[in-house]
Chain A
Amino acid sequence: MNTLAARGIVPEPIARQPWEMLIPLVLLTCFGGLVLYSAGGGAWQPFALSHFIRFGVFAIMTAVIASLPRDAVRLLTYPAYTAVLLLLLAVEVVGQVGGGSQRWLEFGPIRIQPSELMKPAVVLAMARFYETLPSGMIGSWRSVLPSGMLIVLPIGLVLLQPDLGTSIAIAFGGVVVMFLAGLPLWWFLTAGGLGVAAIPFIYFFALHDYQRARVTTFLDPESDPLGAGYHIAQSKIAIGSGGIFGKGFNNGTQSHLNYLPEPHTDFVFATMAEEWGLMGGLFVLAMYALILKWGWKVASESRDRFCALLAAGATATIFFYIAINLLMVMGMAPAKGIPLPWMSHGGSSMMTNMICIGLLMMVNRWNREAPRRGLSL
């Protein structure tokens, strides 16, 4: 890119954009749109068109985020985190008042799911916290208690909704930032060990029946082929029957004849793989790999702790979506409502992921404007 810019063929403002990420992102979104076109029965409505419109709207939002100045972000991080936390609280209050649980707030025509906003917010807040924490305190209780609170508060509120998947996603982003912030390794190992030991207790006492059913089904899909295991079984049939080159665009029988549940959201990858086969699947994986690789590149090029942790946390959040969704549709994780970034139809996940991309582009711009300088800071 730089060479092109250097030759003056492409104007500098365009040439300096992170095309190594943007091109895969756009390709992926377009491909997602095609799959949604097919999932909608070979029509733009109801999925494909709104998918592109959302992408367009969120792309603007991403551009706005990307252009935020460094000091403003530093200043606004905690207030933003607090605001989202209050929104989460508001969800609980509205839910209590309205009777029955819910996960979103409605502002006129816009429906916001604060738990989605919380994922980047937690990453931001954690990055900010470790930036300000003196290096010497790493390894002390002061390095973990406040940041722990930053994670536990929103998770607690999200669990009340109840939404286990999103809670884990929030925790994942936060823990990755903690890990990268240099907290002692044995803390993580101990916590991991305790977590494994706690699994039986969580399974029997903390999970809801439907969540337990998902886990049982995952461990033994044949136990209930027409019930909870049906989704994953049909998803595997869709992927497996696609073969190397797939059944062809708009020819997927699993999705078109409704055997595949949620062919446009959680199981969009299965819809894609049925029609485009292994080749389509590898293409999607490659695009994600390019995007994530760029994310890590941004993180490693960051010149300060805040940027590095923020970029890594945002990348990890995107990764979490992709990994859990794909593991699930291929029958390697319990079924849970986590959509596939830029392919699934749905505004909330698109927003979260675009915010993450926006944060990454923002850090990328800061890096470009003030490159990392050796051993400074």
Chain B
Amino acid sequence: MKIPFLQNGPQKPAKMISASILRSTFDRRSVVIGAVQGGIGVLLALRLGYLSVAENEKYRLESESNRVNLTLIPPRRGWILDRNGAPLASNRADFRVDLIPERLVNAEATIDKLGELLSLEPARIADIKDKVSTARGFQPVEVASGLRYEQFAALSVRLPDLPGVVPQRGFSRFYPTASSVGHLIGYVGPASSEEYEKDPNPLLITPGYKIGKDGLEKQFEKELRGIPGARRVEVTAGGRIVRDLETREDVQGQPVKLTIDGPLQDYAARRIGLESGSVVVMDCRTGDLLCMASMPSFDPNSFSDGIGGVEYAMLRDDERVPLRNKVLKGLYPPGSTVKPMVSMALMQAGIDPDETVNCGGGLRVGNRVFGCWNRRGHGATNMAKAIYQSCDVYFYAMAQRIGMQPIADMARRCGMGQEFPLPVVSQFFGTVPDPAWKMKKWGREWQTFDTVNATIGQGYMLANPIQLAVMASRLAMGKHVMPRLTLDTQPKGFDEIDFPLEQVQYVRKAMSDVVNGPGTAGRARLPIPDVLIAGKTGTAQVVSLSISNGKSGPWKYRDHGLFIFFAPYDNPRYAGAVVIEHGGGSGAAYPIARDVMTFLFDPAKGLEALAALEAGWGGTAQQRLERRYAAYAAERGATVSRPPRRDEEIFDRVEAEARRAATQSDAIAGEVIAPRPEANPSGTPPGAPAAPATAPTAPPSPAPSAPAVENPQ
């Protein structure tokens, strides 16, 4: 009896369904099901064969790459050594922690947990969060280095709950003299994603691996880098290391040996004190750069994981631009320090040094009167007196006689406007103006007053401290001394005689009289018997007299103080230059030169003088920097804006600002310069107390305070 399940279903011929029909249906259908099952079995066997035979190679590789973990061991960086083999940059074994952003499960919580475990400051935690959120996933972000073993151990046991956290033993860069070498050596940091894209070397994204970011660290990256080691380990899926398979040790990078004298560099940097400036000292018999100090500076040790937000804000807001290397990127009107050089030009042009010019306190050029710094006038002035008394009128008059071109040529010969073959990331090389240059740059004819301004190192003339130091060396030696920074380069230029000996001796004597005779820098005398220092003061005006008198008022309008020097004067060994930005006059510069040279000849005496000064300043430069950072972080820590993502942006900004700062004096290039009173002609006897009369006392702010000028009158 068929009762259709659906009335409109397919019609089948009416058929009696019996047990035997059902039995045969069962048999038929069971064969079908059996066949389907057999088919699936065959399918499974084929699939199995395909996976294990045809794709065996592929899966064996994947299984190996699962099992074996290759860890690169970052190579120890080569040391940077001073001329005596003492490290300016070395490595310290330490415990460190990094984060791999792409492996983090809950970034916020993990970082907070780390901050708690390692007791990090809130500003530091904010920096890390910021970096993790902007870093590309594969870029390791440093959390902390230099951890104590207990902290490291406490963290290591919690690793299973903290995916993406990589603690390890490693080496971190260490700069023993910290901020003293900041600008010279630069610093290291993790590679940026741009650098990794340029050079997709897995080493660059190995946690704990740093590359040079600035200064010599960047310049000598290739030598310093070394060869990474590697460690192959068998790991579980959870990342636990089962056993070591093999380990290849790293090869440390090559050391770089500098001509720098480490203690001198540190001394000079500290001696700059609260001022903003630079000290360059050269060995004028070899051209070795012994010291390239630039202050204020930064602590490269604290930059090793990039520049933190608070740090950056503090350094950026500082008017004294601690991020600018003033030795290479500070350009200043050289002021009267060019006068010995101009004298050489005059002698070369045939002017008799004994010929006198009567200085009555000023000279009419065209329809304008150019004053001498000494309004009362110097009277009859020959070349030597013009140098040691820094008489402007003498040079106004003589320069007009020979014209600008010989002076410009001499300036270049002495190193001004030149770029030296030094292993530095970049150097500014200033301006030596001449008629052709002015026409090209400004589209205007050269005027006599341009010559007049140029002869006293004003107007368009700009030089950096290293050029001034080279100029001092070349004047002292009469030879074309070339500076060098590494011990493996050959001294150069000593076979090239620039000036005849009698001219050299004449200038040496005149420059000695600046200090030791009736000159403008009596207080620069060395407190050391038998060693007489020769020098030349310079005070460079930066803004129009209508804005500032150069001595007081806003810091940034004050005059630059300059001093070039060499010693001993009759048989020069060392030469150098000191430039104090907005120091108010040369009186800010030459006491520093005096103490630095004292340190070179008698370290104990030099340190004694420094100790007295630092007691007044509130500690060494490094101590002051740290205190200032702490104060700044406490006050503004929570509100700082984030630093630029890439260090390169910071450099670009610093460089742009440096270029802008260098054009500051362009505005007054066409004006009549009223030369500033040049220091103290009377001088004081050698061995006089070294401490300056006044010193700024409020380190954190460059707000107007008494300039550290000795006695400008």
Contact code string B29-63 (vs A, CB < 8 Å = 1, else 0): 11001100110110111011101110110111011
The answer on a CB contact under 8 Å between A186 and B10 is yes
Partner of B51, one of A136, A179, A234, A240: A240
* Chain B positions within 8 Å of A326 at CB level: 44
A113 smallest CB distance to B (angstroms): 25
The answer on a CB contact under 8 Å between B48 and A259 is no
Q: Is the interface of A mostly helix, strand, loop or mixed?
A: helix
The answer on a CB contact under 8 Å between B25 and A257 is no
CA distance A312 to B34 in the complex (A): 10
- Closest Cβ neighbor of A140 among chain B residues: B3
* Chain A positions within 8 Å of B67 at CB level: 253, 257, 259
* Chain A positions within 8 Å of B59 at CB level: 236-241
The answer on a CB contact under 8 Å between B30 and A241 is no
A258 smallest CB distance to B (angstroms): 4
| B693 at the A interface (CB under 8 A) | no
A134 smallest CB distance to B (angstroms): 9
* Chain A positions within 8 Å of B55 at CB level: 240
* Chain A positions within 8 Å of B64 at CB level: 241
The answer on a CB contact under 8 Å between B5 and A141 is yes
Partner of B22, one of A135, A238, A242, A281: A135
Known: A281-B48, A285-B48. A237 touches B63 (CB 8 A): yes
The answer on a CB contact under 8 Å between B22 and A182 is yes
The answer on a CB contact under 8 Å between B58 and A240 is yes
12 contacting pairs across A/B (C-beta < 8 A): A139-B4, A141-B3, A144-B5, A236-B59, A240-B59, A257-B237, A259-B236, A274-B63, A281-B45, A285-B48, A305-B23, A308-B26
The answer on a CB contact under 8 Å between B37 and A305 is no
* Chain B positions within 8 Å of A237 at CB level: 59, 62-63, 66
CA distance A198 to B123 in the complex (A): 58
- Closest Cβ neighbor of B3 among chain A residues: A140
* Chain A positions within 8 Å of B234 at CB level: 253, 257
Partner of A239, one of B41, B48, B66: B48
* Chain B positions within 8 Å of A285 at CB level: 41, 44-45, 48
* Chain B positions within 8 Å of A296 at CB level: 30, 34
Partner of B44, one of A136, A236, A242, A327: A327
Interface segment among B12-20, B500-508, B651-659: the answer is: B12-20
CA distance A10 to B51 in the complex (A): 44
Partner of B41, one of A242, A274, A289, A312: A289
| A278 at the B interface (CB under 8 A) | yes
The answer on a CB contact under 8 Å between B44 and A139 is no
A142 smallest CB distance to B (angstroms): 7
New A-B pairs, 16, CB < 8 Å, besides A273-B52, A305-B23? A139-B5, A139-B17, A140-B1, A182-B17, A182-B21, A182-B29, A237-B59, A240-B52, A253-B234, A254-B63, A278-B48, A281-B52, A296-B34, A300-B30, A312-B33, A319-B37
CA distance A141 to B1 in the complex (A): 12
The answer on a CB contact under 8 Å between B51 and A330 is yes
The answer on a CB contact under 8 Å between A182 and B26 is yes
CA distance A273 to B44 in the complex (A): 13
Contact code string A67-91 (vs B, CB < 8 Å = 1, else 0): 0000000000000000000000000
| B235 at the A interface (CB under 8 A) | yes
Contact code string B232-249 (vs A, CB < 8 Å = 1, else 0): 001111100010000000
The answer on a CB contact under 8 Å between B26 and A288 is no
* Chain A positions within 8 Å of B116 at CB level: none
The answer on a CB contact under 8 Å between A282 and B30 is no
- Closest Cβ neighbor of B62 among chain A residues: A237
- Closest Cβ neighbor of B49 among chain A residues: A278
* Chain A positions within 8 Å of B237 at CB level: 257-259
Known: A181-B22, A182-B26, A278-B49. A292 touches B62 (CB 8 A): no
* Chain A positions within 8 Å of B53 at CB level: 243-244, 278
Known: A240-B55, A259-B66, A305-B19. A186 touches B41 (CB 8 A): no
CA distance A180 to B238 in the complex (A): 49
Contact code string A315-347 (vs B, CB < 8 Å = 1, else 0): 010010001001100101000000000000000
Question: Which among B30, B49, B236 has the highest number of chain A CB atoms within 10 Å?
Answer: B30
| B608 at the A interface (CB under 8 A) | no
B195 smallest CB distance to A (angstroms): 28
Known: A138-B17, A285-B45. A239 touches B33 (CB 8 A): no
CA distance A30 to B620 in the complex (A): 79
The answer on a CB contact under 8 Å between B25 and A140 is no
* Chain A positions within 8 Å of B34 at CB level: 296
| A358 at the B interface (CB under 8 A) | no
CA distance A337 to B234 in the complex (A): 30
| A137 at the B interface (CB under 8 A) | yes
* Chain A positions within 8 Å of B62 at CB level: 237, 240-241
CA distance A153 to B703 in the complex (A): 88
* Chain B positions within 8 Å of A114 at CB level: none
| A105 at the B interface (CB under 8 A) | no
The answer on a CB contact under 8 Å between A139 and B2 is yes
| A25 at the B interface (CB under 8 A) | no
The answer on a CB contact under 8 Å between B30 and A323 is no
